[in-house]
Amino acid sequence: MLRGRRALASQVRQRLRILISTGLYPPGSRLPNEEELSETLGVSRTTLREALQALAEEGLILRRHGHGTFVNQHPQQVQGSLDRNLDISELIRASGHLPGTRDVVIQTMPAGSEVAIRLSLAPTDEVMVIERVRLADQRPVVFSIDFLPTALLKAASYELTDLYRNSLSEFLVQRLGLTIHHALARLRPVLAEVWLAQKLGLSPGAPVLYIEQVDYTLEQRPVLFSQGYHVPDAFEFVLYRRGPGES
């Protein structure tokens, strides 16, 4: 019974996120009162309160006693500098939020043409693929897909949970003895397809920031290819830019 109510509250939370992200309830606006909102969503006020409490803990809404519930004009963001190669969990933690993971899928498959090019492999070479939704204070903020050549893993002793509970960079250092010297990243805005929108609690067609990155050792060996779909209002990146007079 309790599990069913929590699952329903989670669905209500996702629906409210979509209503907020699509602008039906824009930043700074006041949400309808609990009676009206529970009737609109077709749930009990107890379930609605549980969903609202979770959204308040995420920083997406503000509950003001005696005044109502408002959409936060400045939702909590994960801040990072683009010149620093931080794992997503490290970035979330450094911004003062609690990192988490859900919906983990790990599988082995042939690299295929795109991944093979990024990792200097043959298309038939096997890679370990790790998919997961990354959380900041329980809010889904990134859907990530990481590709590791399985040839790197054959001599290592590890548990599958080691591949997604902690930083993959730490895994490469501690379990494989590899140090990431640098990375090349590409960024572009994309529109969330239905499958991605469902994972991140967005509406289909909502903009997300896509970042793909290849991590290299000092010897220029590519060892990790990552794809990340970031919820835009959850992140703020800072980029240091040199002046035209600086060589």
List, for residues 182-210, the tens digit of each pLDDT value.
Answer: 889 899 999 999 999 999 988 889 899 99
75: confidence class by pLDDT, cuts 50, 70, 90: low
| Cα-based angle 223, 174, 78 (whole degrees, multiple of 5) | 75
The pLDDT of residue 194? 93
Residue-level pLDDT at 111: 95
pTM: 0.67
* Structure confidence by residue, pLDDT tens digits, 77-90: 555 555 556 677 77
pLDDT at 14: 75
- Structure-model confidence comparison of residues 7 and 13, the more confident one: 13
- The tens digit of pLDDT for each residue in 120-156 reads 999 999 999 999 999 888 889 999 999 999 998 887 7
- CA dist 226 and 14 (Å) reads 26
| CA–CA distance, 116 with 147 (Å, rounded to integer) | 10
Q: How far apart are CA 72 and CA 46, in angstroms?
A: 22
3-state secondary structure of 199: helix
Quote the pLDDT of residue 160. 78
Distances (CA, A) of 54 to 12, 17, 50, 58: 10, 11, 6, 6
pLDDT tens-digit series, residues 33-53: 989 998 888 889 898 888 888
Q: Give tens-digit pLDDT for 88-130.
A: 777 777 667 788 889 999 999 999 999 999 999 999 999 999 9
- Answer yes or no: are the C-beta atoms of 69 and 53 closer than 8 Å: no
Amino acid at 77: Q
Cβ-proximal residues to 116 (8 Å cutoff; 6+ apart), any chain? 122, 123, 125
Query: Which residue's entry shows tokens 């006041």?
Result: 30
Residue 127 pLDDT: 96
